[in-house]
Amino acid sequence: MIQNIAEKIADADMVLIGIGEEFEIKNSEKDNGEGEKAFLKRKQAYCRLKEVIKNKNYFIVTLCMDGIIYEADFDKKRIVEPCGSFYRLQCSGKCTSDIYEPDKNQTMKIQEFLKGKCEEKDIILPHCPKCGAPLAFNTIQTENYAEEGYLDMWQLYNKWLQGTVNKKLCILELGVGMRFPTVIRWPFEKVVYFNRKSTLFRVHSKLYQTTEEIKERSVGIQSDLMEFLKELSNQI
């Protein structure tokens, strides 16, 4: 099966990747003091994914907000984060749709928080330069979430997606559950339904099943994501 996936990727004109919540660092890992180890493990998995799709025309849709994907040096113009990112800031009152970037010290503190080395309250964020309200993380967890933080990339993604029509498209869905099925899971199924040259590989520890309508062009794989990507990268 792994070899077949590697061959499909190699033969594909374009590769679409969806990354879900199973890629996130678990609270249990943070609570056990294994946040740093979990961070490095996921960074390694992303690096393996990068190796798998090198030289391919790809786009990545990720539900993760931790920014670990950028540790693998992916092209930022090929990644969209609909749920936002802890590395983007917005006005907590949304007096403006402007998005801000944390400075170097704040970035380091955010990374410590994501690794479980400190709590969110320990991160001191600046105030909105327009209204004076505290800035907040530009994530879906934030009240008054400013979707403007990802919309430009979403438009690029949709333009890229339009170019997949009648192309050999390989879709890798990695760890996508039912938290936000309207973002990746259901739209990917729709793409496969209409593009008869596409193939979907859905990898998840539990929710790996595909639908009857696309059973001829989809494969459900029950697997640990880190092990799956390790085996897949060994085929390249």
Rounded Cα–Cα distance for residues 18 and 87 (Å): 20
Tell which residue, 6, 2, 18, 3, has the closest CA to residue 54.
6
Rounded Cα–Cα distance for residues 51 and 103 (Å): 30
What is the predicted pLDDT for the residue at 218? 98
What is the predicted pLDDT for the residue at 31? 84
Q: Which fold has domain 2-87+147-233?
A: Rossmann fold (3.40.50)
pTM of the complete model: 0.96
Tell which residue, 14, 20, 42, 10, has the closest CA to residue 208.
20
What is the predicted pLDDT for the residue at 236? 80
DSSP state of 19: E
Rounded Cα–Cα distance for residues 161 and 163 (Å): 5
**Per-residue pLDDT tens for 98-154?**
999 999 999 999 999 999 999 988 999 999 999 999 999 999 999 999 999 999 999
**Positions of the chain with pLDDT under 70:** none
Rounded Cα–Cα distance for residues 192 and 116 (Å): 38
Average pLDDT over all residues of the chain: 96
Q: Give the CA count within 13 Å in the CB-facing half-sphere of 115.
A: 16
